[in-house]
Amino acid sequence: QVQLVESGGGVVQAGGSLKLSCTVSGSPFSINFIGWYRQAPGKQRELVAVITSGGNTDYADSVKGRSTISRDNAKNTVHLQMNSLEPEDTAVYYCYANILYPSGVYWGQGTQVTVSS
């Protein structure tokens, strides 16, 4: 089994920063792409950022210019640096990974980000 474990969530004031991390572990695996979704109460889960195994990145318009997604050399840890946070960023953030082997989409348990106004 492949497991995704997130960390770095918390409560920050508007304008502050957080760095979320997600580590993939378990059976031998190969990651196609990995990234972050978020979901606020009563709202649909939305894509925040994604990075491919080749290093290509994509961001939601709402966070573009304020966030940076990156991976370490092991290719099994992804980070999301979020700056200039806004109350609208408040949500549960979920790490997800599209795994080539074992094939499937895997999700972390989620980490709460709360931005006070």
Tell me the per-residue pLDDT of 40-94, one tens digit each, with 9 for 90 and over: 999 999 999 999 988 999 999 999 999 999 998 566 899 999 999 999 999 999 9
Residue 80 and residue 67 in contact, taking contact as beta carbons nearer than 8 Å: yes
* Chain position carrying tokens 């957080």: 18
Q: Is the CB of residue 7 less than 8 Å from the CB of residue 109? A: no
Nearest CA-CA partner of 89 in 48, 49, 51: 48
* DSSP-derived secondary structure for 23-78: EEEES--EEEEEEEEEE-TTS--EEEEEEETT--EEE-TTTTTTEEEEE-TTSSEE
Q: What is the pLDDT of residues 16-50, one digit of tens each?
A: 999 999 999 998 888 899 999 999 999 999 999 99
Q: Residue 17 corresponds to which tokens in the numbers above?
A: 């920063």
